């Protein structure tokens, strides 16, 4: 397919971790991402949801090659990213940008807003004259709803929402094809969050961006994404369109996750049947055998302990990794 | 219409003001806040960061930072917590009123075993023997559904998960059976499935132990399921207060309406952009005269600039701080 931007096949990112025990301790792999396959088309938004430690951030970083991957393949518009040399990676990176969670911490406090936004241009298009760069920075600032008059201010002079606008301006100034948004609104207050969510979706439509939107917040993901992947302990449990995931979830984990989100509607909230999962997610250092979700799953059987479920197709574009999804 | 019986008031806050003096001038964190908490009631306090929701209760418990100045009254069990001696206050805290904080990792002592931290509360406040304290602490850990309580007893905080640490905090807050429990963002640091467990526990404590609970949160979803009444705070003031159903289904203050409208819903199909509240909250150091919300309010008129609206009875039976008749408010 020509409009396929990104294709990830069986991606694994394992970090060696020293654990106590033995004479010197031993090294064990922490399986942050463990066999993820997913694709992204141009102009599409894929939401990735999951709880802390599920590997959603590592997945985003691995796509940008900010985390080394252990095995698997990532291809970018048909080219194998893993085999690419440094020069090739540089040119691919131009098309791949990231927006981080903490808006203030991800901006250099000693650089002005203008310098921060201009940095990618200076990196990738050296030799441009200063006046052209300033012009592009001003245009981009207007695009993200920042007044160009604030170009010489420092990050601490901006509010959290404005800092996130600077981070977004920096990510889009090179007109990339894909931006990875890692929890871009989690540090923001409710009334500011809606402004940034709207900004991201309007930019996506105007610039034809593809977006990987990583968040623990299901309602935000549901609002912004066309497709949604649900991750748990390094694996994708279920993937489908927004309607598949939110209206007819098949995986017991997706169902529990959706029922656990508190809804701002007293009658609905008091009447709804909650699926309360027991305990906490297991450590990714020591994941359960078979299906990784089985220790908290009400449907788990012996089969789940013996064999990891493979991806089964529920409908076109809707896949679930569960032995018992039909029940 | 049936009149609801008015529950006995257990906590009464009157005209509370909190000011922090800083080298750059005073920060007005809480301005003229008054409310009461009935016996067995759950009051939700909703607001964004800097709205004064936490400082209100830190002030009430005498836990403000050193540069904090308080005025007003906080009546608990007949005495004004802001006027009594530090000694008396220490006796009340934990015994009659206790607090559960947001981040259980930083509010537990990292180098002390869980068991010791719990029994210390009892031996300090109630003068019971070590053996009895241990029994009671273990019973309380079971009460908060801690898995394998005996084993956890001799563990350190870092060995527990976030959810378990929050269970320890809740157990600690309940140990001396206080009348009032203040839960400040008790689930904000937790994952959504663990949040559901802790909210379930708070619901259970409210219903079976008949505690009076103040639930401070930025998440409207959390109060929707738990609170009997809700107070919405903005820039250090209560802007609207009423029964939970009224606040969610018949909000009168433009800020409450805006806040409800800008929450994405789970059944949202993403076709429409989210409603937003333009701008950002005011600087608490340079509060403009008039209504604190007027700069972001689509309905503001001359009076809002010159005069600060007081909390007055609203159509839904609660209170609101807005000059507009409720019907005139555009969402």
pLDDT per residue as tens digits for the range B201-215: 999 998 888 899 999
- As a whole number, the mean pLDDT across chain B is 90
Please indicate whether, in this complex, the C-beta atoms of B274 and A258 are within 8 angstroms of each other: no
Gap from A240 CA to chain B (nearest CA, Å): 14
**Of all residues in chain B, what percent carry a pLDDT higher than 90?**
68
pTM of this structure:
0.90
Is B324 within 8 Å of B306 (Cβ atoms)?
A: no
pLDDT per residue as tens digits for the range A158-167: 989 999 999 9
Predicted local confidence at residue B18, as pLDDT: 96
- The answer for residues whose C-beta is within 8 angstroms of residue A210's C-beta and 6 or more apart is A5, A6, A40, A41, A42, A43, A44, A45, A46, A177, A178, A179
* φ and ψ at residue A212, rounded to 5 degrees: -105, 110
**CB contact, 8 Å: A47 with chain B?**
no
CB neighbour burial string for B90-121, b if at least 16 within 10 angstroms, e if fewer: eebbbbbbbbbbbebeebbeeeebbbbbbbbb
- Across B238-252, average pLDDT: 96
**Number of other residues whose CB lies within 10 A of the CB of residue B201:** 20
* φ and ψ at residue B184, rounded to 5 degrees: -100, 105
pLDDT at B171 over 60: yes
For residue A51, the chain B residue with the least C-alpha distance is B191
Chain B CB contacts of A267 below 8 Å: 245
Predicted local confidence at residue A245, as pLDDT: 96
- Across B217-244, average pLDDT: 96
Residue whose C-alpha is closest to residue B103's, from B157, B22, B24: B157
Please indicate whether, in this complex, the C-beta atoms of A246 and B258 are within 8 angstroms of each other: no
- Enter the tokens of residue A283: 């450590």
Which of A32-36, A111-115, B22-26 is predicted with the least confidence, judged by mean pLDDT? Answer: B22-26
Find the angle CA(B291)-CA(B16)-CA(B94) to the nearest 5 degrees: 140
Given pLDDT bands bounded at 50, 70 and 90, which one contains residue A1?
Answer: very low
Please indicate whether, in this complex, the C-beta atoms of A256 and B193 are within 8 angstroms of each other: yes
Is A46 within 8 Å of A4 (Cβ atoms)?
A: no
Considering only CA atoms, give the Rg of chain A: 21
Predicted local confidence at residue B286, as pLDDT: 87
Is pLDDT larger for residue A136 or for residue B105?
A136
Distance in angstroms (rounded) separating the CA atoms of residues A158 and A166: 9
pLDDT at B43 over 60: yes
pLDDT at B140 over 90: yes
Given pLDDT bands bounded at 50, 70 and 90, which one contains residue B235?
Answer: very high
Residue whose C-alpha is closest to residue B19's, from B5, B11, B29: B29
- As a whole number, the mean pLDDT across chain A is 92
Which of A76-85, B175-184, B212-221, B237-246 is predicted with the least confidence, judged by mean pLDDT? Answer: A76-85
Please indicate whether, in this complex, the C-beta atoms of A223 and B194 are within 8 angstroms of each other: no
pLDDT at B330 over 60: no
Predicted local confidence at residue B4, as pLDDT: 59
DSSP, residue by residue, B189-207: TS-HHHHHHHHHHHHHHHH
pLDDT at A314 over 90: yes
Three-class SS state of A83: coil
Please indicate whether, in this complex, the C-beta atoms of A190 and B262 are within 8 angstroms of each other: yes
For residue B51, the chain A residue with the least C-alpha distance is A189
Q: How far is CA B53 from CA A303, B65, B310, in A?
A: 50, 15, 18
- Enter the tokens of residue B179: 């009348």
- Across B288-311, average pLDDT: 92
Please indicate whether, in this complex, the C-beta atoms of B193 and A257 are within 8 angstroms of each other: yes
Gap from A123 CA to chain B (nearest CA, Å): 33
Report the relative pairing of strands B79-80 and B68-76 from DSSP bridges: antiparallel
Is B16 within 8 Å of B56 (Cβ atoms)?
A: yes
Gap from B222 CA to chain A (nearest CA, Å): 6
Chain A, 268-287: which have a CB under 8 Å from a chain B CB?
Answer: 268-270, 274, 276-281
Q: What ipTM score was computed for the predicted complex, to two decimals?
A: 0.87
Predicted local confidence at residue B199, as pLDDT: 93
Q: Write the residue in B162, B193, B266 that is nearest to A277 by C-beta.
A: B193
- Across A139-157, average pLDDT: 95
Q: Write the residue in B48, B193, B200 that is nearest to A190 by C-beta.
A: B48
Given pLDDT bands bounded at 50, 70 and 90, which one contains residue B56?
Answer: very high
Given pLDDT bands bounded at 50, 70 and 90, which one contains residue A279?
Answer: confident
pLDDT at B3 over 60: no
Predicted local confidence at residue A66, as pLDDT: 86
**Order of all β-strands in the sheet with A210-215:** A96-99, A178-182, A210-215, A45-49, A227-232, A235-241, A318-320, A312-315
Query: DSSP character for A288?
Result: P
How many residues are listed for chain B in this entry?
Answer: 331
Distance in angstroms (rounded) separating the CA atoms of residues A67 and A57: 10
Is B227 within 8 Å of B236 (Cβ atoms)?
A: no
pLDDT at B2 over 70: no
Please indicate whether, in this complex, the C-beta atoms of A223 and B270 are within 8 angstroms of each other: yes
DSSP, residue by residue, A114-167: HHHHHHHHHHHSTT--HHHHHHHHHHHHHHTT--GGGTT--GGGS-HHHHHHHH
- The answer for residues whose C-beta is within 8 angstroms of residue B316's C-beta and 6 or more apart is B242, B243, B246, B247, B250, B252, B326
Which of B207-221, B240-254, B257-271 is predicted with the least confidence, judged by mean pLDDT? Answer: B257-271
Predicted local confidence at residue B1, as pLDDT: 45
Q: What is the largest CA-CA distance in chain B?
A: 67
- Across A165-188, average pLDDT: 94
CB-side neighbour CA atoms (13 Å) of A156: 2
Distance in angstroms (rounded) separating the CA atoms of residues A50 and B222: 19
pLDDT at A136 over 90: yes
- The answer for residues whose C-beta is within 8 angstroms of residue B283's C-beta and 6 or more apart is none
Distance in angstroms (rounded) separating the CA atoms of residues A269 and B320: 25
- Across B234-257, average pLDDT: 96
* Alpha carbon of residue B8 to chain centroid: 20
In terms of phi and psi (left: phi > 0; alpha: psi -120 to 50; beta: otherwise), the region of B180 is beta
pLDDT at B329 over 70: no
Find the angle CA(B212)-CA(B77)-CA(B107) to the nearest 5 degrees: 55
Q: Write the residue in B164, B248, B273 that is nearest to A201 by C-beta.
A: B273
């Amino acid at each position: 397919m020509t409009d396929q931007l990104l294709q990830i096949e069986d991606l694994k990112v394992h970090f060696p971790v020293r654990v106590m025990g033995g004479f010197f301790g031993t090294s064990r792999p922490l399986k942050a991402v463990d066999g993820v396959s997913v694709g992204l088309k141009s102009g599409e938004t894929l939401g990735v949801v999951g709880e802390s430690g599920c590997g959603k951030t590592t997945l985003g970083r691995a796509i940008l090659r900010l985390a080394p991957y252990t095995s698997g393949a990532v291809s970018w518009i048909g080219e194998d990213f893993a085999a690419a040399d440094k020069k090739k990676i540089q040119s691919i990176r131009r098309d791949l940008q990231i927006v981080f969670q903490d808006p203030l911490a991800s901006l250099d406090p000693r650089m002005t807003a203008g310098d921060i936004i201009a940095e990618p241009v200076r990196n990738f298009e050296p030799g441009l004259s200063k006046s052209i760069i300033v012009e592009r920075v001003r245009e981009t600032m207007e695009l993200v709803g920042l007044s160009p008059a604030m170009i010489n201010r420092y990050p601490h002079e901006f509010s959290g929402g404005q800092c996130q606008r600077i981070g977004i301006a920096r990510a889009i100034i090179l007109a990339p094809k894909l931006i990875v948004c890692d929890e871009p609104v989690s540090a923001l207050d409710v009334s500011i969050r809606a402004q940034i969510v709207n900004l991201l979706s309007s930019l996506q439509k105007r610039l034809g961006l593809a977006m990987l939107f990583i968040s623990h917040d299901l309602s935000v993901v549901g609002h912004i994404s066309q497709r949604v992947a649900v991750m748990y302990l390094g694996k994708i449990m279920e993937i489908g369109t927004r309607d598949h995931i939110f209206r007819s979830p098949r995986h017991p984990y997706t169902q529990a996750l959706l029922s656990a989100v508190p809804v701002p509607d007293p009658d609905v909230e008091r009447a709804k049947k909650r699926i309360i999962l027991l305990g906490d997610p297991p450590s990714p250092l020591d994941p359960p055998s078979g299906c990784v979700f089985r220790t908290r799953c009400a449907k788990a059987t012996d089969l789940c302990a013996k064999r990891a479920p493979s991806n089964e197709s529920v409908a076109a574009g809707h896949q679930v990794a569960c032995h018992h999804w039909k029940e | 219409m049936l009149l609801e019986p008015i529950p006995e008031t257990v906590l009464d806050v009157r005209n509370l003001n909190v000011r922090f003096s800083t080298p750059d001038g005073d920060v007005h964190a809480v301005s003229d806040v008054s409310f009461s908490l009935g016996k067995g009631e759950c009051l939700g306090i909703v607001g964004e960061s800097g709205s004064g929701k936490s400082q209100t209760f830190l002030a009430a418990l005498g836990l403000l930072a050193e540069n904090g100045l308080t005025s007003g009254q906080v009546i608990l069990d007949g005495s004004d917590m802001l006027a009594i001696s530090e000694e008396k206050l220490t006796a009340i805290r934990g015994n009659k009123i206790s607090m559960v904080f947001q981040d259980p990792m930083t509010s537990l002592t990292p180098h002390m075993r869980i068991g010791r931290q719990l029994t210390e509360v009892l031996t300090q406040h109630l003068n019971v023997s070590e053996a009895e304290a241990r029994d009671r602490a273990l019973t309380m850990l079971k009460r908060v559904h801690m898995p394998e309580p005996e084993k956890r007893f001799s563990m350190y905080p870092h060995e527990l998960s976030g959810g378990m640490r929050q269970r320890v905090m809740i157990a600690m807050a309940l140990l001396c059976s206080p009348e009032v429990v203040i839960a400040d963002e008790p689930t904000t640091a937790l994952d959504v499935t663990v949040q559901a467990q802790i909210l379930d526990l708070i619901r259970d404590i409210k219903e079976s132990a008949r505690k009076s609970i103040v639930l401070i949160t930025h998440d409207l979803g959390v109060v929707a399921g738990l609170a009997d009444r809700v107070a919405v705070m903005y820039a250090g003031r209560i802007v609207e207060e009423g029964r939970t159903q009224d606040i969610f289904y018949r909000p009168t203050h433009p800020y409450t309406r805006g806040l409800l409208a800008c929450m994405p819903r789970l059944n949202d199909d993403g076709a429409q952009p989210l409603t937003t509240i333009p701008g950002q909250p005011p600087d608490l150091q340079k509060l403009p005269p008039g209504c604190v919300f007027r700069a972001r309010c689509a309905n503001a008129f001359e009076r809002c600039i010159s005069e600060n609206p007081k909390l007055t009875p609203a159509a839904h039976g609660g209170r609101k701080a807005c000059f507009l008749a409720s019907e005139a408010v555009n969402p």
